[in-house]
Structure 1
Amino acid sequence: MVDSARHAPTGQALGLPLGIGRAEFVSILALLMALNALAIDIILPAFRPIADEFNLQQSTDTQFTILAYLIGFGAAQPFFGPISDRFGRKMPMVFGIVTYILCAAAGALAPTYELLLLSRVIQGIGAASTRIIAFSIIRDTHEGRAMASIMSLVLMVFMTVPVIAPAIGELIVLFADWQWIFAAMSLIALICGLWTWFRMPETLPVERRRPLTGRNVIEAFRIVLTTHSAFWYAFAAAGAFSVLFAYINVAQPILADYYELNRWFPVAFAVVAGLMACTSYTNSRLVQKLGQRTISHAALCTQLIVTGIFVLSAAFFDVPLWLFIVLSSLIMTSFSLMGANFNSLAMEDVGHVAGSASSILGFTQTVIGGIVGTAVGQLWNGTLLPVAFGFAAISLSTLAIVLIGEKGELFGSGES
């Protein structure tokens, strides 16, 4: 395995595409990423109506609408990376957005739960292009700490979606049928697609594109998988995103049912998501001074301590709502400090195959995160302890991965 430079460089912006400013550049990429969060968070208030519509036996069966989306989202990512390395970033992304729009509309018209899940899988396939290519565009134009800063700004806007999406979904199911949630997804994706088509320039010039042959694809994946930092931080990022997906799966039953917040669930969910967005913005400012390793490793240690407190609290007394909000906020803000920085560290040394690298990162994060997150969600049995154990196990596993990747050294001692 190729060992990358031990300490990441400070990095710089390589140059934004001509004809677009930094604010619009970040906004477009953030909206592209936000389509993924929207497809998950806006349907959370519709879990009960969907269960009633299709006569589902278990209330937790509605979680499969999230898993189905994540399966398509993760499975398609290894394909979009090499395709974007060959044909450029813009056209494959537009194709994915169109697929997203059509399948969201199909979900609204699905006559059976099985067809709803199928439309969600294909919708996830379309959405995969936005995640992969957005990260590739960032790597095309930035490196090092500057790349981590841009990723944090993108994730900051991305994190505002969980603040407003459940509230939008709640308003829709309050005044209309749940199918209109899928119509809303189609409309927002259409706006995003038009903005991308008319304003986002191509960031991968023809001379830097790689031929789309089996040999070249395998070679690109080999480069990523044999680069020490890319390999281990890909799995560390998967661990971080497992916590995010686990929280998404358990938030509704815990907040709405266990704590009986009911219609106030979107407000409680938005509090945590809002703190995550603020933390992502803070990271975009601090990472230029402190570096990705220092911030992400400190956040990981904090998350492990907090999940340990969560386990002990759930084991010995009934956790009040205020304490659950505090603990979940600390766990999820720690994720905000890890996500962008882990991705930046994984992408740093594989910029020449950015599309393929982004594919592997996205695939591991989505598939591993989706499966582990759903597994933690299925642990929910009306009590908090199994879920708390699930969060702690993920955090401990992520720490072990980072320790292996960093050869036992944390916090980037001497990081430039």
Structure 2
Amino acid sequence: MADTEPTAIPPSGVLPVAKRPVPGRSELVVMIAGLMALNAFGIDIMLPALNEIAHAVGLTAPGMESDNRQQMIIFSYVLGFGAPQIIWGPVSDRFGRRGPLFVALVGYSITALACIVMRDFMALLIMRFLQGVFASGGRLVAVSVVRDLFAGRQMARFMSLVMTIFMVVPILAPGIGQIVLLVAPWEAIFVVLAAFGIVMLIWTWYRLPETLPEDARQPLNLGAALGAYEQIIKSRVTFGYMCASGVIFGALFSFIASSEQIFREVFGQKETFALWFAGVAGTLACANFLNSRIVEKVGMRRISHTALLVFTIMSAILAVVTHFTTDNLYVFFPIFALCFGCFGLMGSNFSALAMEPLGKIAGTASAALGFATTTVSSLIAMAIANQYNGTTVPIMLGFVSLGVISLVIILITEKGKLFSSR
């Protein structure tokens, strides 16, 4: 399918459907990145505190080794983030982008504050699940706004710029969490999350116009929603890349959930965990930026297919080396950082390829993609991360398996043809 022309922002900065000027490109990039960062911030700032929170809610006793169940503090949030996007999508296609966004931001801040008083593990997981539900609304609207304004390679380039800014969050968030723990108890981390939600609420309230015109809105009923999702399933490209995203992002979430355990227990880097995690995330940010510079010339398929192949091969090399030797931080880190960086060359391109055929139902398409890349991938990630046994071998074998499965899905989607310049 040839790339469609983008719905460009006019030189005046005013969209025909908007009642107020659209922010300039730079501000819009940062704003969309901020909305998408609600999710990453809600995950990554927690990582240094997982062991302390596990103690506070009675999961483990001080001085004990970590319990793999502490990963559920992350996975409960991710599960809440994924499935509700199927609802947020049709709602935003019916009522526009602004209203659902404001509901999501208010809910995100309230549930963050509610987590402070939770001292029962299950109660905390429930509240984290609800926080993820509201975070999903912010992410859904952010992607839908971009699709309202851009298409094809222009969308991929814009999203790569967004992801470059967005990736500052996982680089800095664990460090912010570590700093908070130095001066305050773990509860203060949730205060920071609530403040972030309030800042985004104020900013978007005054600066983000409605980007979905009245005549483009879809009726909100079961038949319309099922019809929209039927279009997604029938679109070979959309459904194929949605499935591939859901599988491969299981690798990303499995590492995030187990990263604190890996660096603290395997490599003995408790105090410097935030720095090592920032290094890994930094490679992802660099890859996103690189993608934004080359995607229009090289093509989404050629870049993402190459990255997937490199990811699978490098993961296999690291798994074999570690299995036959031992875990060594200075061997693990550079190879793993390269593997992780491949997500920057896959994520935005897979998303743009999946969304491109379905511009008229961008909210619903974004919801389906978000469901695949969060709910499906988190369920896969839970199975992989739970295999953590004090070494990195199970995680890396999981990476290899998911890479192979994703490659097979794309081969089927593209009818056996990889590395196309389209």
TM-score w.r.t. the length of structure 2 is 0.94
- CA distance in 2 between counterparts of 1:340 and 1:354 reads 15
Partner of 1:387: 395
Pair 1:223 & 2:226 matched = no
Partner of 1:138: 146
Q: 1:305 aligned to 300, 303, 313, which one?
A: 313
Partner of 1:343: 351
User: Which amino acid in 1 is paired with 2:211?
Assistant: T
Task: Give the superposition deviation at 1:331.
Answer: 1.1
Task: Give the superposition deviation at 1:228.
Answer: 0.7
Contact 1:136 1:355 (C-alpha < 8 Å) held by counterparts: yes
Aligned residue for 2:136, secondary structure, equals helix
- CA distance in 1 between counterparts of 2:128 and 2:158 reads 29
Partner of 2:292: 284
Task: Give the superposition deviation at 1:244.
Answer: 1.3
User: Which amino acid in 1 is paired with 2:142?
Assistant: A
- CA distance in 1 between counterparts of 2:384 and 2:169 reads 23
Pair 1:48 & 2:56 matched = no
- CA distance in 1 between counterparts of 2:248 and 2:167 reads 15
Contact 2:58 2:121 (C-alpha < 8 Å) held by counterparts: no
Partner of 2:63: none
Task: Give the superposition deviation at 1:22.
Answer: 0.2
Contact 1:240 1:339 (C-alpha < 8 Å) held by counterparts: no
Partner of 2:406: 398
Task: Give the superposition deviation at 1:378.
Answer: 0.7
Partner of 1:34: 37
Partner of 2:24: 21
Q: Residues 13 and 325 (structure 1 numbering): CA distance in 2 closer, same or farther, change over 3 Å?
A: farther
Partner of 2:267: 259
Give 1:97-246 correspondences, 5 Å limit.
Answer: 97-246=105-254
Structure 1: which 5+ residue stretches go unaligned?
Answer: none
- CA distance in 2 between counterparts of 1:240 and 1:193 reads 32
Task: Give the superposition deviation at 1:250.
Answer: 2.1
User: Which amino acid in 1 is paired with 2:120?
Assistant: T
Aligned residue for 1:119, secondary structure, equals helix
Contact 1:10 1:288 (C-alpha < 8 Å) held by counterparts: no
Structure 2: which 5+ residue stretches go unaligned?
Answer: 15-20, 61-65
Give the paired residue count. 408
Q: 1:270 aligned to 265, 269, 278, which one?
A: 278
Aligned residue for 1:263, secondary structure, equals coil
- CA distance in 1 between counterparts of 2:334 and 2:379 reads 26
- CA distance in 2 between counterparts of 1:76 and 1:401 reads 25
Pair 1:358 & 2:366 matched = yes
Partner of 2:6: 12
Partner of 2:382: 374
- CA distance in 2 between counterparts of 1:44 and 1:11 reads 41
Task: Give the superposition deviation at 1:208.
Answer: 0.6
| More moved, 53-62 vs 370-379 | 53-62
TM-score w.r.t. the length of structure 1 is 0.96
User: Which amino acid in 1 is paired with 2:227?
Assistant: E
The RMSD of aligned alpha carbons is 1.2
Aligned residue for 1:359, secondary structure, equals helix
- CA distance in 2 between counterparts of 1:312 and 1:206 reads 56
Superimposed CA distance per residue, residues 22-80 of structure 1 (whole angstroms, 9 cap, x where no aligned partner) = 00111110000001000000000111111111221452211101111111111210000
Task: Give the superposition deviation at 1:239.
Answer: 2.1
Partner of 2:327: 319
Contact 2:101 2:137 (C-alpha < 8 Å) held by counterparts: yes
- CA distance in 2 between counterparts of 1:89 and 1:10 reads 23
Aligned residue for 2:340, secondary structure, equals helix
User: Which amino acid in 2 is paired with 1:30?
Assistant: A
- CA distance in 1 between counterparts of 2:196 and 2:382 reads 27
Contact 2:75 2:257 (C-alpha < 8 Å) held by counterparts: no
- CA distance in 2 between counterparts of 1:224 and 1:232 reads 10
Superimposed CA distance per residue, residues 149-199 of structure 1 (whole angstroms, 9 cap, x where no aligned partner) = 111111112211111100111111122110100010000111011101110
Overall identity of the aligned pairs, in %: 39
- CA distance in 2 between counterparts of 1:237 and 1:403 reads 14
User: Which amino acid in 2 is paired with 1:247?
Assistant: F
Task: Give the superposition deviation at 1:10.
Answer: 6.3
Superimposed CA distance per residue, residues 346-398 of structure 1 (whole angstroms, 9 cap, x where no aligned partner) = 00001111111001000111111111112211111012221211111111111
Partner of 1:333: 341
User: Which amino acid in 1 is paired with 2:70?
Assistant: T
